């Protein structure tokens, strides 16, 4: 169920607006509680079941694009296997690495940035290459 894997979504679920954020919550509720039905949620929220379903579908698309449930599940497993490095890979830098940036197609899934924001820029990368070339 996609709603239980929002930690590996293309963007954080709190970026979603109003009803779509509710929809993530509804989907999680439904995933956690097998006795809860779409109809229960609908009557509680005062909405039609079809409306609830449509919000949930939109929220899923916002978070994961069009990838399948099994692709979402695989991505979750893959990312958990890769521990995030504690600090930037630049010598002497104690900053945490930059947050993960995920491409829409998920190709970069499973890779954590090695450098912090400051040392991950193209300028910093060029400086590293020049330093290495001169020693
Ligand atoms: Zn750094």
Closest CA to 28 of 50, 58, 6: 6
Using pLDDT thresholds of 50, 70 and 90, give the confidence band for residue 27.
very high
Given a cut of 60, is residue 70 above it in pLDDT? yes
- Its CATH class, for the domain covering 2-77, is mainly alpha
Tell me the CA–centroid distance for residue 7 and ligand 1, in Å.
Answer: 24
Tell me the CA–centroid distance for residue 103 and ligand 1, in Å.
Answer: 22
Tell me the CA–centroid distance for residue 93 and ligand 1, in Å.
Answer: 5
> CA 122 to CA 18: how far, in whole Å?
37
Please answer whether residues 19 and 55 qualify as being in contact, where contact means their C-beta atoms are separated by less than 8 angstroms.
yes
Q: Average pLDDT, whole number, for the chain?
A: 86
Tell me the CA–centroid distance for residue 6 and ligand 1, in Å.
Answer: 28
Provide the pLDDT for residue 83.
67
pLDDT digits (tens, 9 = 90+) for 46-69: 999 999 999 999 999 999 999 999
Mean pLDDT across 79-104 = 75
Note the pTM of the prediction, 2 decimals: 0.62
Provide the pLDDT for residue 104.
46
Q: Break the chain into its structural domains and give their ranges.
A: 2-77, 84-135
Please answer whether residues 3 and 32 qualify as being in contact, where contact means their C-beta atoms are separated by less than 8 angstroms.
no
Q: Which two three-digit tokens encode residue 23?
A: 């929809």
Q: Pick the residue with more confidence: 81 or 73?
A: 73
pLDDT digits (tens, 9 = 90+) for 96-121: 887 765 554 444 555 677 888 889 88
Q: What angle in degrees, to the nearest 10, is found between the helix axes of 18-32 and 49-64?
A: 100
């Amino acid at each position: 169920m996609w709603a239980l894997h929002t930690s590996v979504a293309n963007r954080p679920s709190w970026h979603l607006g109003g009803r779509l954020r509710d929809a993530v919550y509804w989907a999680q509720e439904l995933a956690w509680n097998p006795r809860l039905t779409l109809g229960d949620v609908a009557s509680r929220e005062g909405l039609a079941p079809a409306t609830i379903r449509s919000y949930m579908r939109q929220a899923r698309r916002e978070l994961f694009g069009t990838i399948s449930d099994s692709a979402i599940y695989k991505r979750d497993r893959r990312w958990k296997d890769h521990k995030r490095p504690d600090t930037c890979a630049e010598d002497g830098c104690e900053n945490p690495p930059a947050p993960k940036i995920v491409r829409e197609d998920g190709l970069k899934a499973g890779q954590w940035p090695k450098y912090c924001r400051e040392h991950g820029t193209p300028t910093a990368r060029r400086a590293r290459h020049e330093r290495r070339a001169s020693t």
